[in-house]
């Protein structure tokens, strides 16, 4: 994984799942700019509908390594499109440019 890659983080204590752009990774933790997976579709909808206000913003967060359960690249899996592919298809934008 390289800086700028779109990743999905599974976290513990509390349990969370984050999709975002990898900014840095070190033995102490991972820095990512992204949104909670539970908010992803609402966040994406802000780009497809003419809304006058933006309510969901990606944030830059450092997660200590003891919270990280797994980290994987956002990739298509057979017929199942990645979050990035869904974002591009629905918004006509690259997710890496928005994050």
Residue 51 pLDDT greater than 70, yes or no: no
CB 44 within 8 A of CB 86: yes
Mean predicted lDDT score pLDDT of the chain? 91
Q: How confident is the model over 15-31, as pLDDT tens digits? A: 999 999 999 999 999 99
What residue ranges define each of the domains in the chain, with the CATH number in brackets? 6-98 (2.30.30)
Here the tokens at position 31 are 């820095």
Residue 47 pLDDT greater than 90, yes or no: no
Q: How confident is the model over 31-42, as pLDDT tens digits? A: 999 999 999 998
b/e 63-93 (16+ beta carbons within 10 angstroms → b): beeebeeebeebeeeeeeebbbebbeeeeee
Torsion, Cα of 67, 71, 76, 80 (10° steps): -30
């Amino acid at each position: 994984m390289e800086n700028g890659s779109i990743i999905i983080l599974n976290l513990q204590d509390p349990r969370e799942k984050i999709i975002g752009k990898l900014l840095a990774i070190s033995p102490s933790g991972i820095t990512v700019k992204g949104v909670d997976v539970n908010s992803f579709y609402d966040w994406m909808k802000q780009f497809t509908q003419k809304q006058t206000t933006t309510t969901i913003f990606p944030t830059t967060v450092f997660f200590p390594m003891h919270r990280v359960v797994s980290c994987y690249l956002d990739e298509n899996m057979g017929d199942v499109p990645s979050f990035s592919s869904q974002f591009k298809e629905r918004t006509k934008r690259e997710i890496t440019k928005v994050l």
